[in-house]
Structure 1
């Protein structure tokens, strides 16, 4: 160990702190101590601040007066809004702005009427819904208790996916509601697609100009000012190359779907994770699809994509989204080919009709419908989105498996327009890559899906299909740490014989007491289909007792059907067993969510 001038006790304190901090807090601490060091070197005296890490990230150039103060509030589900908030915090601080960044889930709505400047970064999910952790804030803002905000200046950075009808809808709703409450826009809303980096950067630069910031003021105390602590050096911009240790099918013979258990080696990466976190996987496109696109464009695959420094085959394989259609692609293709039908569709500005069109075709379908005789690589590639990482709930405990990450992946496969379609990452990872092969990964922290801080608190885990993954991590963690609080699993799949995922492990946990109860719903084992929400209603009285005893409820799986049906079943439990109105039951469930006792990881 290099001579740091620290005592053994101080080294141990820092080591323990580093192991237990989240990525956000580790970044804050690194910047905090960088600021202290700078102040001490400059002779500015003792840098005094209350000990402990606050609930928000903050940064300000302590050696010069800041021109402006602003607070960033973000609502994140997959981590993009949170990552962007950290980036903008660093950028704004470096331009002389005193800035704080805070998760909307932790924000106290009573403070809203006191704010002067707010920057909201919100993502959209499902049919125009905000990120799960931001739901209570949105519900408050839409309700009768929302205050007048005439003294507030605000800006909204909306994240979404342009392939869907309700693109950036949560951000649009927020922007409109803030204006209705009397707040004043600092800048018009920015709607960003999944490859949001360039658009958000350009917009934030303009916002900085609007704020009248000074670009000459250096940043001192800010997240990322010093080298990040354990687990932070690898992210989606700098992934770790992990090797596959195991890739085995865990569904039985005759199953109508295939699910793979995958184990990855992360030894030497410095990556750590907690139960509830996800693994980001940077996948490659299907080689056959890449060749089909090259053929349609009359390309050899060796043409240069100058700005990327790669050839067209590499670009289409590793860097571009070549499955889902986007308005950006259709606009580019209409311009290059003179296809009036596409231009008419775009000019209508009918999101529903456009989403219907894009949902029934992929890029290859549009290319096969007719194209230009000759297309320059730079023209075509400019219309493609960047290939984005896919997130998978981690199915292992870092305590039990410190050098491994386990996943539970179902390869996506379906027919469209007479052609077989394959999920990009699920197929690349679970089908095309075998033991000994590599893939690029990073840890995506999910602070909104965590085991209770109280190890004795009961937990109720509800999931279907691959939604069982984080609960395997929960159980491994509880087993490794010897936790014995009550735990109850509700699990649904198609058939007991072929689809009871990790069956022997669940039976072992039930036998040794790590798991207290298990209720199963196999929909196709009887004439009348049974789902987990029905099991919940059947056990309503007991579930209600668990909730009254402080149980934490978790839901993981399909957002479109299962999660909402489970939500309705829980409302039924609260209203019937609690003998309250439907409205009071909804309020109770919202209160559980705000307090962190009702957490959902849905997709």
Structure 2
């Protein structure tokens, strides 16, 4: 309905302003606005708060009284993204007068679910559709027979994932469905976020606030922006710091099959701080040579000015393709969007229902250049096409240094990724930028990704066992630098593996010095290509199973860093086998023992 002077209490100017505004509002914004107006009206009438509802509205009065202002926010997070969003959600709700509890799922007692009226879930999906480590026990409980009926529960789920994986946001979808199955009611629909999650997460939070406030019958005015706390940095994921490259070295010896870069970056003037176990987010650039091939294939003008985001920022097309958009990964959603722009019937046929395996096979190892060469679309304006591309995601790398040992610096250990598939040479976006195009004096846009799920024990006397083959050695270099600085007395044991002792023992002199000085108590290495039969870190663990179990019994914490699909999976099974054998336990008891270690933060993984 259009507002007019004749059908409303507004003058002509007010009616015109409202007619322009109202069609642009989302449902959550309309809910918020109605609540705000109701609250301000109540506040302006003396005695309104004490005035009882009319006798004809007992149900409404009862409903308002039973709605709780308490909100529980649970997160399942592997790298820290979900935790950061959960904590931000808690803060925003507290600013609006809610009493909020924010907790990791592993720290939450599932039996308390029955006591909760308002539950928010923020969960990432790990690997092939699995819950993150700190969500495993809660996920198992919720999907088990002991899960209670939750008829009084109102909930909403924010799900994080990567649409290039088949089981995109699977964990969040499972939590959302299970809470409904148990009788819960959604106070706002689930939102599934891809790698660029900032905008959809903000919309979800607005919707949640609207849903919670609608139930109360009123909404508080927006809270003022919080003042920065002492020690906070202005630089973060959405405003990265341009860190100068101080050193860029190849850690592998001549003749190695690998190239592993050691980067030292300056954080001077950034205010950024971190702890061992945290990661550094790096925003890379695409290879200009690949961008040139794309432009040649599409016949687009490299200098055409294009809009790159919802805020209306503009760049020349070539610059936008180099620095702003992801062009090396294909996802099913991208193919579906491209099909809408293309007249190519083969692409539409590929995306037909039931062809999931064919889509997965096609996207594996191919990039945007392959898509355009195979299916087009041809003749589509550049602006229209780039609108379907994902924003360039940051790459997360385990920090390989201690801030206490290297003030104003952060070190990284990055393995160069090169391979051939589908008839073309392929390169890792960030790793080859670092290996081939990044020089001392250049800068990289970076931010700190805090990760509370991979931290040294609070007690420096606690023994630690570190398993980190290849670049998985990175956080353990940070651990040892930190322990050396603080004079920690706890024992430490490293298991490291790679291909060849002579060329691939990363940071060899540092580890040997720590071993000699007693900073590292034990070190066992496995170089798979130096022996006729390949030997890996899990083989070394089995060789020392008795002593390793003794360390566990003494209270040692176990840390694993590296490839999840193979190494971390094998090491996990090896730990189970050691516990079963040396502890004289059944497989079920051994699994419970390891799960207890995980619950008590004595088994932590930084896997990718």
TM-score, length-normalised on structure 1?
0.85
Whole-Å separation in 2 of the counterparts to 1:518 and 1:90: 44
Contact 1:71 1:119 in 2 (8 A): yes
Give SS of 1:431's match. Answer: helix
* Match of residue 515 from structure 1: 520
Query: How far does the alpha carbon of each residue in 1:322-359 deviate from its partner, in whole angstroms, 9 at most, with x for none?
Result: 11112332122212121223233334165444322211
Contact 2:74 2:119 in 1 (8 A): yes
* Match of residue 391 from structure 1: 396
* Match of residue 70 from structure 1: 71
Whole-Å separation in 2 of the counterparts to 1:87 and 1:293: 39
Contact 1:328 1:383 in 2 (8 A): no
Unaligned regions of 5+ residues in structure 1, if any? 1-65
1:238 counterpart = 2:242: no
Whole-Å separation in 1 of the counterparts to 2:380 and 2:220: 44
Whole-Å separation in 1 of the counterparts to 2:125 and 2:164: 12
Whole-Å separation in 1 of the counterparts to 2:159 and 2:499: 38
Whole-Å separation in 2 of the counterparts to 1:104 and 1:540: 31
Whole-Å separation in 2 of the counterparts to 1:81 and 1:91: 15
- The structural deviation recorded for 1:522 is 0.7
In structure 2, the CA distance between the partners of 1:533 and 1:345, relative to structure 1 (3 Å rule), is: same
* Match of residue 487 from structure 2: 482
Query: How far does the alpha carbon of each residue in 1:276-333 deviate from its partner, in whole angstroms, 9 at most, with x for none?
Result: 1111111111111111122222112111113331121121111111111123321222
* Match of residue 81 from structure 2: 80
Give SS of 1:125's match. Answer: coil
Query: How far does the alpha carbon of each residue in 1:41-91 deviate from its partner, in whole angstroms, 9 at most, with x for none?
Result: xxxxxxxxxxxxxxxxxxxxxxxxx98442221111222212322443344
TM-score, length-normalised on structure 2?
0.84
* Match of residue 363 from structure 2: 358
* Match of residue 530 from structure 2: 525
* Match of residue 293 from structure 2: 292
Contact 2:68 2:118 in 1 (8 A): no
Contact 1:96 1:215 in 2 (8 A): no
Give SS of 1:174's match. Answer: helix
Contact 2:213 2:219 in 1 (8 A): no
* Match of residue 554 from structure 2: 549
Q: Structure 1 stretch 235-244 or stretch 135-144: which is displaced more?
A: 135-144
* Match of residue 51 from structure 1: none
* Match of residue 119 from structure 2: 118
* Match of residue 332 from structure 2: 327
Give SS of 1:130's match. Answer: coil
Match of 2:567 among 562, 568, 592: 562
- The structural deviation recorded for 1:422 is 1.0
In structure 2, the CA distance between the partners of 1:559 and 1:404, relative to structure 1 (3 Å rule), is: same
1:193 counterpart = 2:199: no
Show the 5 A alignment for 1:31-46.
Answer: none
In structure 2, the CA distance between the partners of 1:312 and 1:121, relative to structure 1 (3 Å rule), is: same
- The structural deviation recorded for 1:538 is 1.2
Show the 5 A alignment for 1:267-306.
Answer: 267-306=268-307
Show the 5 A alignment for 1:154-553.
Answer: 154-213=155-214, 214=218, 216-219=220-223, 225-306=226-307, 307-348=312-353, 351-553=356-558
Give SS of 1:560's match. Answer: helix
Give SS of 1:415's match. Answer: strand
Contact 1:104 1:133 in 2 (8 A): yes
In structure 2, the CA distance between the partners of 1:353 and 1:106, relative to structure 1 (3 Å rule), is: farther
- The structural deviation recorded for 1:418 is 1.2
**Corresponding residue pairs, total:** 536
Whole-Å separation in 1 of the counterparts to 2:126 and 2:453: 16
Unaligned regions of 5+ residues in structure 2, if any? 1-66
In structure 2, the CA distance between the partners of 1:229 and 1:289, relative to structure 1 (3 Å rule), is: farther
Contact 2:79 2:453 in 1 (8 A): no
In structure 2, the CA distance between the partners of 1:185 and 1:354, relative to structure 1 (3 Å rule), is: farther
- The structural deviation recorded for 1:93 is 4.6
- The structural deviation recorded for 1:132 is 1.9
Contact 1:149 1:181 in 2 (8 A): yes
Contact 2:74 2:104 in 1 (8 A): yes
Q: Structure 1 stretch 172-181 or stretch 567-576: which is displaced more?
A: 172-181
Contact 1:320 1:384 in 2 (8 A): yes
* Match of residue 11 from structure 1: none
Whole-Å separation in 2 of the counterparts to 1:550 and 1:228: 36
- The structural deviation recorded for 1:200 is 2.9
Q: Structure 1 stretch 155-164 or stretch 569-578: which is displaced more?
A: 155-164
Q: Structure 1 stretch 280-289 or stretch 304-313: which is displaced more?
A: 304-313
* Match of residue 137 from structure 1: 138
Whole-Å separation in 2 of the counterparts to 1:257 and 1:317: 26
Contact 1:163 1:359 in 2 (8 A): no
Give SS of 1:245's match. Answer: strand
- The structural deviation recorded for 1:95 is 5.3
Show the 5 A alignment for 1:80-119.
Answer: 80-93=81-94, 97-119=98-120
- The structural deviation recorded for 1:363 is 1.0
Whole-Å separation in 1 of the counterparts to 2:286 and 2:85: 26
1:587 counterpart = 2:589: no
Whole-Å separation in 1 of the counterparts to 2:177 and 2:541: 38
- The structural deviation recorded for 1:431 is 2.5
Contact 1:277 1:445 in 2 (8 A): yes
